[in-house]
Amino acid sequence: MRLDWLRIRDPGPWTSGFEILAMGGAALILAGTAVGLGRFLFASLLIVVGVQHFMYAQFVATLVPSWIPWHLFWAYFVGVAFFAAAVSIVARKYLGLGAGLLGLMFFLWVILVHSPRVMVSPHDGKEWTSAFVPLAMCGGAWVVAGGRGRKG
């Protein structure tokens, strides 16, 4: 049986699939239903992209704007931040702080990384998508932070 379609080391499908799960998890929390499942779904994205930041650190470093120093450091730092936020969200320890800082990190990416790219290529749909996904993750993280007092 050939598994050519199963490209386990291709990060694209993993990232986009887990982004959708994370958005769904944030929606569950926002709706006040299945809050525990929502937190788990949101945190699952963080594990996947955290691993990817280590597996593909050289590539991730190329996404850091040229005016920011230490590109490779930031690739690893963000990977660690994703793991720390995932643990905080799942364990519900420092949940507001962990998810709040995660949201801030995503928001800063929108401002510092994605907005300039959209301004340079305003007709490129991929750049717009690349900007709106972290904006949605920012909102999702803040929903997770705000939903910490609910049962689940």
pLDDT at 9: 72
pLDDT at 2: 56
Q: Which residues of 73-110 are buried (b: 16+ CB within 10 A; e: fewer)?
A: ebbeebbebbbbbbebbbeeebbbebbbbbbebbbebb
pTM: 0.88
pLDDT at 89: 96
- What is the spatial distance between Cα 76 and Cα 35, in angstroms, rounded to a whole number? 30
Domain boundaries, the chain: 13-149
Residue with tokens 């996404």: 63
For 23, 31, 67, 84, 87, the CA distances from 132, given in Å and listed in that order, are 12, 21, 23, 23, 25
pLDDT at 15: 84
How would you write the pLDDT of the chain (152 residues) with one tens digit per residue?
455 555 667 777 788 889 999 999 999 999 988 999 999 999 999 999 999 999 999 999 999 999 999 999 999 999 999 999 999 999 999 999 999 999 999 999 999 999 999 999 999 999 999 999 999 999 999 999 997 545 55
